[in-house]
Chains A and B, each alone.
Chain A
Amino acid sequence: MKIGPDDIRTVARLARLNLTPEEEASMVTTLDAILTYMETLNALDTTDIEPTAHIIDLETPWRADEVTNEANTEALLANAPARDGNHFRVPKIID
């Protein structure tokens, strides 16, 4: 087993996903199979191989420090599930 129910719960918590017991069980089976398959990569010696993060050779382009956006608050808040005036509203945050 590459991954068990405890790992699944830890990962689900990290990813903020509520899993039902059935989902949890199916996650264990399928992720275990997938991760086992991914072990095939270990057959390759990658000791001196550079990792590829970007497939094309680019530099981060820069833009000038200019304010180009104007307030468009109503349109930007139109999709909000809960608002309070021009604030987004969420359940109470406890530090």
Chain B
Amino acid sequence: MNPDLDRYEGVIGLEVHAEMLTASKIFCGCSAAFGAPPNDNTCPVCLGMPGVLPVLNRRVVEFAVRAGLAIDCRIARRNRWARKNYFYPDLCKGYQISQFELPICEGGYLDIHVDETTKRVHLTRIHMEEDTGKNIHDAHGDSSLVDFNRSGVPLLEIVSEPEMSSPAEAGAYLRKLRTLVQYLGICDGNMEEGSFRCDANVSVRLRGATELGVKVEVKNMNSFRAVEKAIAFELERQADTLDDGGHLVQETRLWDADREETRSMRSKESAHDYRYFPDPDLPPIILSEDFIETIRRALPELPDARRERFVSAFGLPAYDAEVLTSRRDLAEYFEAVVAAHGNAKAASNWIMGDIIRLIHERKLDDAPIITDWPVPAANLAALIALIDEGTISGKIAKTVFEEMLTSDESPRAIVERKGLVQMSDESAIQAVIDEVLAASPDKVAEYRGGKEKLQGFFVGQVMKATGGKANPPLVNKLLMAKLKA
């Protein structure tokens, strides 16, 4: 770390925009699905044509309340819509329907774990708003193109207090938040496709100072790594600037992932005046206790609770439980394996080892929901069962696992086809042992003379002679009996 940063501390707040997993848009009946041809998912409402009016999608409110309850926010029984006025080609009405002074959720917190310590990061607010369309740059020399398929897709804006001080804390907060919205089923959490976006408000101040420094808003980061790198860059830039006697300006800067630096936005309209006012087209939102309680009762098990259950019910180490619950799909995969075959510790070991390694290798870490697991949960469970019942050894299991990656066959079928069934017939093993010992009379003598570590040599010879199929505990037992005889 830059030595300058020792004198300064970072002050970081994050604003996350999560696109909600609704079927239709927030204020019209257009599909909110990704991937349609340009402007196919549009209508007069989400194109902002003259005279048209918004009608609210109920599920948007449900999702916002679900998030608010999961994060321990205060849910505003009466909240309302506001118009945020500005001009941009992807904004079809000249204003965005959002919430301003009366958002649906306020307060709440997330506990994050960094360097063995737990830190509580408070939230300012959560509010609902509509997404804008998409400007496509550089398509043709002198023009840009606009696609309104995303215009009106519902967003949840989740704003933290400026309580994080390092890129690692920001990363931990963001991962925790993504895990949560995925658990809640309200957002797929895909940063690359832009359904989970993050802007960072970054400033530095002398360590111990209480006043906040000049705040810079950093945008255009489309992965967790980018957020961490951009914040690290920005903290250092600000510290360097101050140390060089320079002045910081309040501005918006864009993260350039190729050059790994932030740069000031060129557009002159930096001083925004959004002229928020209550949207006259939408009366206030009134939430009944009944509505809120129904959502509370239907909340799924949240990551923290699930982690604790994995420790208490399955006896897993805290670290394993943390990793396995870091994604809802991963936790569900684990539970599916255990449901099919009850050896939780073995399931955890396989997933923490081979499965996660393969997820990394296949670059599935940032996938919103992993569906193409390296092997189906039922097959992983069957493999563990084969070990537990003594049909194969752990070593053979690795071979079978590799085979499973390219084959649809069940582990048992693979074992049978390749003749990998463990040899547990005492007399057959005894015969092999006899052959091995007979072939190395000098080594047997040495062993009996006290060189006991030669036992490994004999085991290896037996395994080699049986193609690895001999049951290892049985080999050991019979070998000892013979040598000590």
Contact = CB atoms under 8 A, between A and B. Distances in A.
A48 interface: no
B145 A16 contact: no
B136 interface: yes
B143 A66 contact: no
A39 interface: no
Given A84-B139, A85-B38, A86-B39, A62 B31 contact: no
B22 interface: yes
Contacts of B141: 92
Nearest to A72: B43
B447 to A, nearest CB: 75
B288 to A, nearest CB: 10
Contacts of A87: 38-39, 136, 139, 145-147
B55 A63 contact: yes
Interface in A1-40: 14, 16
Interface stretch (B184-192, B204-212, B277-285, B312-320): B277-285
B282 A73 contact: no
Contact of A65 (B23, B37, B89): B23
B199 to A, nearest CB: 14
Interface string B38-64: 111111100100000001111111000
Interface string A54-76: 10001111111111110111001
Given A67-B24, A71-B40, A90-B144, A60 B283 contact: yes
B419 to A, nearest CB: 54
Contacts of B282: 60
Contacts of A77: 39
A41 interface: no
Given A59-B286, A63-B58, A87-B136, A69 B38 contact: no
Contacts of A71: 36-37, 40-41
Contacts, number: 125
Interface residues of A, number: 34
Given A69-B30, A87-B39, A90-B143, A62 B254 contact: no
Nearest to A64: B58
Contact of B144 (A63, A65, A91): A91
A10 to B, nearest CB: 9
Given A65-B59, A86-B39, A53 B147 contact: no
Nearest to A16: B87
A68 B23 CA distance: 10
Q: Which label, helix, strand, loop or mixed, suits the secondary structure of the A interface? A: loop
B483 interface: no
Nearest to A54: B283
B125 to A, nearest CB: 19
Interface residues of B, number: 54
A82 B43 CA distance: 18
Interface stretch (B265-273, B362-370, B382-390, B399-407): B265-273
Q: Which label, helix, strand, loop or mixed, suits the secondary structure of the B interface? A: loop
Contacts of A95: 254, 265-267
Please indicate which of the listed interface residues B39, B47, B80, B283 has the most CB atoms of chain A within 10 Å of its own CB: B39
Please indicate which of the listed interface residues A68, A87, A94 has the most CB atoms of chain B within 10 Å of its own CB: A87
B271 to A, nearest CB: 10
B364 to A, nearest CB: 29
B81 interface: yes
Contact of B284 (A59, A64, A66, A68): A59
A22 B473 CA distance: 99
B267 A62 contact: no
Contact of A88 (B55, B145, B275): B145
A73 B24 contact: no
Nearest to B252: A95
A7 to B, nearest CB: 13
Contact of A93 (B23, B135, B285): B135
18 contacts: A14-B273, A53-B278, A60-B286, A62-B61, A65-B57, A69-B30, A73-B37, A73-B42, A77-B39, A82-B143, A86-B39, A87-B139, A88-B145, A90-B135, A92-B142, A93-B135, A93-B144, A95-B266
Q: Across chains A and B, which 5 residue pairs bring their CB atoms closest together, nearest first? A: A68-B29, A87-B145, A62-B58, A65-B59, A58-B283
